[in-house]
Structure 1
Amino acid sequence: MALKKMFLILMISAVAVSGFAGGSGDGSSGGSAKPVEFKVGLLGDIQTLNFWASNDINMSAIMEAVMPRFGFMDTDGMIKPHLFTDIEIKDNSKTFILHVKPGLKWHDGTPFTAHDVVFTGEYLMEYKLFQNTRYSNVASARAIDDLTVEYKLNNPQTGFMDVIMYWVSPVPKHIFEKVTDPMNFNYESTGVVGLGPFKMSEWKKGEYYIADRNPDWPADMGTPKLERLIYRVYKDENSLALALKTGEIDTAARHVLPSVANQFRNDRNFSLFEMQSPGYAYMGFNGEKSEFAADPAVRRAIAMCVDRPKIVRLALEGNGIPMPGSVSPIYKEFTSSNINYPAFDIEAAKRALANAGYADTNGDGIVEKNGKKLSLRIMYEGARSDYDRSVRVIKEDAAKAGIELILDPVDRQVYMDRQNRTKEYEMMFVQWGAIVVIYDSFYNLYGKDAYLNYANFYDPNLEKWAKAAKESPSIPDTIKPMEEAQKVVVDLCPTIGVWVPNLIYVNSAKFDGYIPYYFSFNGTLTMGSLINISPK
């Protein structure tokens, strides 16, 4: 099948790699009783093994092996299917016919069919789960037969199947059709029924997760050479780096900073892969928890306190680029108009606050309004040194403008719970792992009912333009509405982009066959790579 290239993106390649090819090896361990194991380090625990109830980058690393998405982005930046054999696009991108790959089984032996595909979109939308807005333009969906799905859209949408394949993992209908509270459903109790080349066999939250090779995985999709994946949990970056050095793990699920990578560069026992991130770091505001976070004047003033070049130099050790607007600069077609946040200017921030009625009446250096000190707590993962350094720089410069930012470093599990469930935060600093097919993703970030719109921010103009960009018949048609949507974001500052990192992944040289997919947030741990990795 020849899929159209639905988006334009910059790719920086650090090494020459092969395309997706699983190989046909039998994965034997050479007669040894011990299975061929590959050990992965996680920085912090996962939130839940209920894959559709959380946007957790650690959990996504396990998903690649156990619950792959409908498709993937190859090393040339093209989105291709994993679980479909063919996709027909008709009616000017308003009708899509999906042909499901035959022979696939859920890990409990239940066949994977078109009915699971249809159920997935309906379920995500009904319960407003992760990636729900990817289906917001669907007028109807039906299973023509067990292996054929028809989607009809309300409006033409050039990137419809790109985002479905890149982002969405199928939901097992036979399990979830009886689950009416998916956010609190204990999926672990079912044994975690996945669909991928590995299946969950054992886990102990906070310590480890084990997945064994799936004997029912179709050979024509590539038989893994690895027989067991072991994911081990580490609480901080130092212990993760030490585990790599000592051979306790073979790779890490997250990238490392240059100071850590330099420990491995000239060591023959390791291989390094470097790439441009498809994601970025940003600050978000929760106006429902703070009147100051709800004030656009305050958000704009904080934007004027973000010295991006200094933060990149200090927090990323220079290994990244500033992000001046609401779209990553790697998307040149969507950033050529330079629609940027207010520039770094402490004096301008002071004036903006004064014009909005804020004044330092008691001389303590922090402005007030209506008798309340302008103070906000900024939540972030304390184990991330790049986050910690970033917020400390911003805190220092914000104080010069009369804004008090109280640092709130928390454990990863606390962070994920507050972000996804309780919404108990005023500000947060975090990084999107990947934002691709940007003209669709904008609606997934700011749409009224979008799962990733954590603070429930709503502006009618932003809603209108983001929806228009998403529902466009061609890429050129997305440019204008994307520009208008960006204007709203940089004016109202519901989020503030900070930096785009360069990613460095460290891998054990005891194994061959790593395939770093440069558009993935999982580095060398994508499904295609895991199938290809083999011991030397």
Structure 2
Amino acid sequence: MQGMKMKALAAGIALMFSGATFAADVPAGVTLAKKQEIVWGVGTEVPTLDPTMTTDDSSSKIISDLFEGLVSEDTEGNLIPALATHWETSADGKTVTFHLREGIQWSNGEPLTAQDVEYSFKRNADPASAAPYSWYLATANILNAAAITDGKKDKETLGVKALDAKTVQFTLTQPTPYFVIMLSHPSTFPVYRKAIEQFGDSWTRPEHMVSSGAYTLTNWVVNERIDLVRNPKYWNDAKTVINKASYLAIENDTAEYNRYRTGEIDITATFPLEQYKQIKKDRPNELITMPSLATYYYLFNLNKKPFDDVRVRKALAYAIDRDVVTKIILGQGQIPAFGVTPPAVAGFDAPALPWANLTQKERNQKARELLKEAGYTKDNPLKFELVYNTNEAHKKLALAMMSMWKQSLPVDVELANQEWKTFLQKLSQKDFSLARYAWVGDYNEASTFLSYFESKGMNYSRWANDAYDKAMANALAASSEEERQKYYQEAERIFSDDMPAIPVYFYTKTVIKSPKVGGYSTTNASSHRYTRDLYLMK
């Protein structure tokens, strides 16, 4: 979301929000196409369509068309009501009460209730579910979330309670100014209990799924396509225009672009890097570059040698020429990253980091000194494996990293690529040494990037730093936005000193979009683009 709502949310006193809704905004004079069917490219095959189990952007894209949360975002990323019409925050900031819409239903026609919301949050927190985003509830400071996930308390003690069929109340351990924003993330969306209890993991199959969003699932062919159709039970269906949405799983960027050229795809997930200049020349109004809330990393596993040594981690970080990466290899306005939080985040000013102010020649020299101190020389080179998920762009960057490191340092790098689902499993199991990684912000506030590296965060690196955790705790308890930003800057400096991951660049989002697609925001830094907001023109 944009920064306009942040001050109100930060106040945390008797906050009530109501009135706004969302819909496809078709401008006057636009003639709609008779056939309202859209095709998205989503890159790799999605690992899941279960909101509670999602961790990746591709899955979240489709899940956000199938399901809905208490709140959502409009086309510009501003917070708006969704399943709830309004909410209040208590005077002490520790209780947030949501009021659900009258008449909202699941896609099978059954009422969607506050009890469904309570069940879904408790399912997420329950360690038996092994939900990968359970840490998110603790980051949101929901009462007992961390203790439940750790197996120390029963899930029924979670601070989420249905007061009646239309009212659900959250109890927090402390005021959390960005709590409501966090509920726009798919992992917090209600799920249909009866289907889960009857069908287990297969409840997300088309014949079993019951959803709450603008669309329902009709077809899922693994590694090929997913099809959705408009949900007539959706509370805002009257304002929806697109009747069918399809998502094609195509890992090869060139193959995806070729299918766009033939008219099979309306919006790509990405584009072939090597064809950027030609595409920009041939399709200047179709190639769209937007700001993005995302950071590209190489993530260390600190539990594996040699990356338990901070000197080794810093050496590899220093020896990457980010200007070459952003200006020559990528070249679409990406920004060199020396810290965690992208400049597109509302209200955040990055601190001055000493290594960022060195020339690349100076960084390379410092990197050689650090590796030598750690005992690595030409006769005893640093050996490690860099793993990345199958994708041409990731492969090109990995090759560039290997080249830069070998030019400056005594290293022996082995590259390995893995299919997306396998890659995610390896990360979650911490079965890697150095891995390509990226973090897309779950909401527009610095904490979504910084909290990942807290010891209680998702944190595949297994990094734990008491000073970092304390800075983040102080940021949350800050009495003003100015004070909060100072603690965020302190966290950035601590991260830089310990380097649990290598920040490489801050994303821009570039897609190729058919001119016939209307309603697609080109200015929203959030990754969310909902099919419900779009329409096709003649």
TM-score by length of 1: 0.83
Q: Offset at 1:247?
A: 0.5
Alignment map for 1:436-455 (pairs within 5 Å)? 436-442=443-449, 444-450=451-457, 452-455=458-461
Q: Against the structure 1 CA distance between its residues 297 and 186, is the aligned structure 2 distance closer, same or farther, given a 3 Å change threshold?
A: farther
The reply to whether residue 303 of structure 1 matches residue 305 of structure 2 is no
Q: Offset at 1:482?
A: 1.3
Q: Against the structure 1 CA distance between its residues 464 and 188, is the aligned structure 2 distance closer, same or farther, given a 3 Å change threshold?
A: farther
1:22 and 1:250 map into 2 onto residues whose CA distance is 17
Q: Offset at 1:92?
A: 4.0
Q: Identify the range of structure 1 (249-258 vs 147-156) with the bigger mean alpha-carbon deviation.
A: 249-258
Number of the residue aligned with 2:420: 412
Q: Offset at 1:407?
A: 1.5
Number of the residue aligned with 1:433: 440
C-alpha contact (below 8 Å) 2:298/2:503 kept by paired residues: yes
C-alpha contact (below 8 Å) 1:163/1:437 kept by paired residues: no
Q: Offset at 1:265?
A: 5.5
1:57 and 1:496 map into 2 onto residues whose CA distance is 21
2:277 and 2:122 map into 1 onto residues whose CA distance is 44
More helix by share: 2
Residues 390-449 of structure 1 deviation map (CA, whole Å, 9 limit, x = unaligned): 2222222222222333221223233223223x3321111122233544343145412333
Number of the residue aligned with 1:68: 68
Q: Against the structure 1 CA distance between its residues 7 and 326, is the aligned structure 2 distance closer, same or farther, given a 3 Å change threshold?
A: farther
AA in 2 matched with 1:280: T
**Pairing partner for 1:253 from 265, 269, 273:** 269
2:277 and 2:241 map into 1 onto residues whose CA distance is 27
1:234 and 1:67 map into 2 onto residues whose CA distance is 24
2:262 and 2:7 map into 1 onto residues whose CA distance is 42
Number of the residue aligned with 2:155: none
Number of the residue aligned with 1:85: 85
CA RMSD of aligned residues (A): 3.2
For this pair of structures, how many residues does the alignment match? 497
The reply to whether residue 380 of structure 1 matches residue 382 of structure 2 is no
Q: Identify the range of structure 1 (392-401 vs 507-516) with the bigger mean alpha-carbon deviation.
A: 507-516
SS in structure 2 opposite 1:275?
strand
Q: Against the structure 1 CA distance between its residues 271 and 148, is the aligned structure 2 distance closer, same or farther, given a 3 Å change threshold?
A: same
Number of the residue aligned with 1:320: 334
1:439 and 1:512 map into 2 onto residues whose CA distance is 31
The reply to whether residue 99 of structure 1 matches residue 95 of structure 2 is no
Residues 299-327 of structure 1 deviation map (CA, whole Å, 9 limit, x = unaligned): 11111112111111232125311112222
Number of the residue aligned with 1:12: none
Q: Offset at 1:152?
A: 2.2
SS in structure 1 opposite 2:80?
strand
1:264 and 1:334 map into 2 onto residues whose CA distance is 31
2:485 and 2:477 map into 1 onto residues whose CA distance is 12
**Pairing partner for 1:283 from 274, 298, 320:** 298
**Pairing partner for 1:151 from 146, 152, 170:** 170
1:491 and 1:152 map into 2 onto residues whose CA distance is 36
C-alpha contact (below 8 Å) 1:41/1:253 kept by paired residues: yes
C-alpha contact (below 8 Å) 1:283/1:428 kept by paired residues: yes
Q: Against the structure 1 CA distance between its residues 162 and 31, is the aligned structure 2 distance closer, same or farther, given a 3 Å change threshold?
A: closer
C-alpha contact (below 8 Å) 2:291/2:509 kept by paired residues: yes
1:443 and 1:336 map into 2 onto residues whose CA distance is 12
**Pairing partner for 1:22 from 21, 24, 33:** 24
Q: Offset at 1:65?
A: 1.2
Q: Against the structure 1 CA distance between its residues 174 and 107, is the aligned structure 2 distance closer, same or farther, given a 3 Å change threshold?
A: same
2:519 and 2:91 map into 1 onto residues whose CA distance is 41
2:444 and 2:41 map into 1 onto residues whose CA distance is 29
AA in 2 matched with 1:51: P
Q: Against the structure 1 CA distance between its residues 138 and 318, is the aligned structure 2 distance closer, same or farther, given a 3 Å change threshold?
A: closer
Structure 2: gaps of 5 or more residues: 9-20, 144-158
Q: Offset at 1:179?
A: 9.2
1:77 and 1:415 map into 2 onto residues whose CA distance is 30
The reply to whether residue 228 of structure 1 matches residue 244 of structure 2 is yes
What is the percentage of aligned positions where both structures have the same residue?
Answer: 20
C-alpha contact (below 8 Å) 1:141/1:151 kept by paired residues: yes
1:330 and 1:193 map into 2 onto residues whose CA distance is 36
2:432 and 2:439 map into 1 onto residues whose CA distance is 18
Q: Offset at 1:116?
A: 2.2
C-alpha contact (below 8 Å) 2:41/2:247 kept by paired residues: yes
Q: Offset at 1:473?
A: 5.0
Residues 50-106 of structure 1 deviation map (CA, whole Å, 9 limit, x = unaligned): 232231222122112112344333355532222211121222422211111222222
SS in structure 1 opposite 2:396?
helix
C-alpha contact (below 8 Å) 1:325/1:497 kept by paired residues: yes
2:22 and 2:278 map into 1 onto residues whose CA distance is 29
AA in 2 matched with 1:494: P
SS in structure 2 opposite 1:212?
strand
C-alpha contact (below 8 Å) 1:325/1:338 kept by paired residues: no
Number of the residue aligned with 2:147: none
Number of the residue aligned with 2:217: 200
SS in structure 2 opposite 1:277?
strand
Q: Against the structure 1 CA distance between its residues 227 and 495, is the aligned structure 2 distance closer, same or farther, given a 3 Å change threshold?
A: same
Alignment map for 1:323-472 (pairs within 5 Å)? 323-331=337-345, 333-339=347-353, 343=358, 344=360, 345-356=363-374, 358-360=375-377, 363-364=378-379, 366-367=380-381, 374-385=382-393, 387-399=394-406, 400-420=408-428, 422-434=429-441, 436-442=443-449, 444-450=451-457, 452-472=458-478
Q: Against the structure 1 CA distance between its residues 72 and 31, is the aligned structure 2 distance closer, same or farther, given a 3 Å change threshold?
A: closer
SS in structure 1 opposite 2:58?
helix
Q: Against the structure 1 CA distance between its residues 338 and 429, is the aligned structure 2 distance closer, same or farther, given a 3 Å change threshold?
A: same
2:33 and 2:510 map into 1 onto residues whose CA distance is 35
Alignment map for 1:99-178 (pairs within 5 Å)? 99-127=99-127, 129-136=131-138, 137-139=141-143, 140-166=159-185, 168-172=187-191, 174-175=193-194, 178=197
C-alpha contact (below 8 Å) 2:450/2:491 kept by paired residues: no
Number of the residue aligned with 1:481: 487
1:169 and 1:110 map into 2 onto residues whose CA distance is 20
Q: Against the structure 1 CA distance between its residues 384 and 120, is the aligned structure 2 distance closer, same or farther, given a 3 Å change threshold?
A: farther
1:211 and 1:77 map into 2 onto residues whose CA distance is 24
Q: Against the structure 1 CA distance between its residues 521 and 254, is the aligned structure 2 distance closer, same or farther, given a 3 Å change threshold?
A: farther
C-alpha contact (below 8 Å) 1:280/1:433 kept by paired residues: yes
C-alpha contact (below 8 Å) 1:133/1:444 kept by paired residues: no
Q: Against the structure 1 CA distance between its residues 462 and 185, is the aligned structure 2 distance closer, same or farther, given a 3 Å change threshold?
A: farther
Q: Offset at 1:490?
A: 0.7
2:43 and 2:440 map into 1 onto residues whose CA distance is 14
Q: Identify the range of structure 1 (259-268 vs 35-44) with the bigger mean alpha-carbon deviation.
A: 259-268
1:517 and 1:427 map into 2 onto residues whose CA distance is 33
Q: Offset at 1:353?
A: 2.2
SS in structure 2 opposite 1:508?
coil
1:31 and 1:511 map into 2 onto residues whose CA distance is 10
C-alpha contact (below 8 Å) 1:273/1:505 kept by paired residues: yes
Q: Offset at 1:489?
A: 0.8
Structure 1: gaps of 5 or more residues: 9-18, 368-373
